Amino acid sequence: MIETPLVGDINTNNNTQNACYTILNSWDPNDKQVTPQGEGANGYIDNNQNMFYTVHFQNTGNAAAGNVYIIDTLDSNLDMGTFGKIKSSHYCKIKFLRNDIVEFDFPNINLPDSGTNQDASNGYVTYSVRQKPNLIPETKIKNTAYIYFDYNPAVVTNTTLNTIKSTTSIKEIKNENEVSIYPNPSSGIFTVALGNLDRNQKLEILNAFGQIVYESAIENQTAATIDLSRQAKGMYFIKVRSKNGVGIRKVVVE
């Protein structure tokens, strides 16, 4: 997502936001997504961050929906005073029903059904809200949205989950003998040597945009051979997480 304001933009370094989501199952057109998504099933993230939420909706009925509205429940660990709408697919009005509940109203949207017009049957709203300051480690942040098409019962989205991680519990692995890569540069096929690390690791590879292009659990191995020959040439970041800590290395594919 790239914002390009015409005037008055003093800092252009914060105009781009990337998001990458792992596909877990068949896609539900009525869902909720969060950025940062976080690490692992618990969505571990850092403290004191802005959270970006997007609610997607689609009219999968058999007639146009004259009105659509979303009831969105905000976790008590979020600071409602920092709430701000970023963008929506259609005009919408915002109303706070309670300190932790916001309503997005799309009046007279006349959203076509997916059988009549697949593309036009979709909509979304994106907003940001900041965490309350200095949440304690393992604090969970959950969110669920309820989507109403005219007078039909609510379509309930998935529940997003983030968990505050402990900054003191994660040790950086700096020793090159613990995590090393060869050959580097490579043609795309290389080996990640894990030295004396704990034998249960999680390996992730990210491209220059921060998108995960490869991930795997490594058990009872001292090395792993990776094939990125089908990926674009350039620099990639190897992230290894084990009980010993987290190691990040760079590899160049040429």
Go through the domains of the chain in sequence order and give each one's CATH number: 12-164 (2.60.40.740), 180-253 (2.60.40.3080)
What share of the chain in percent tops pLDDT 90?
Answer: 45
pTM score = 0.61
Intra-chain end-to-end CA distance of the chain, in Å:
28
What is the Cα–Cα distance from 77 to 100, expressed in whole angstroms? Answer: 10
DSSP designation for 5: -
Q: What is the pLDDT of residue 168?
A: 46
168-227, pLDDT tens digit by residue?
A: 444 555 555 578 888 989 999 999 887 765 566 788 888 876 678 888 887 777 788 999
Residue 49 CB burial class (10 angstroms; 0-12, 13-18, ≥19): middle
Residue 90 has pLDDT above 90, yes or no: yes
Instruction: Compute the mean pLDDT over every residue in the chain, rounded to the nearest whole number.
Output: 84
* Cis, peptide link before residue 185, omega less than 30° from 0: yes
Q: What is the mean pLDDT of residues 89-98?
A: 94
Q: Determine the 3-state secondary structure of 121 from DSSP.
A: coil
What is the Cα–Cα distance from 99 to 49, expressed in whole angstroms? Answer: 20
Whether the CB-CB separation of 70 and 147 falls below 8 Å is answered with: yes
Q: What is the mean pLDDT of residues 73-94?
A: 93
Query: Which stretch of 7-21, 49-63, 190-204, 225-239 has the lowest confidence by average pLDDT?
Result: 7-21
Q: What is the pLDDT of residue 46?
A: 86
Whether the CB-CB separation of 163 and 181 falls below 8 Å is answered with: no
Whether the CB-CB separation of 55 and 73 falls below 8 Å is answered with: no
Q: What is the pLDDT of residue 170?
A: 47
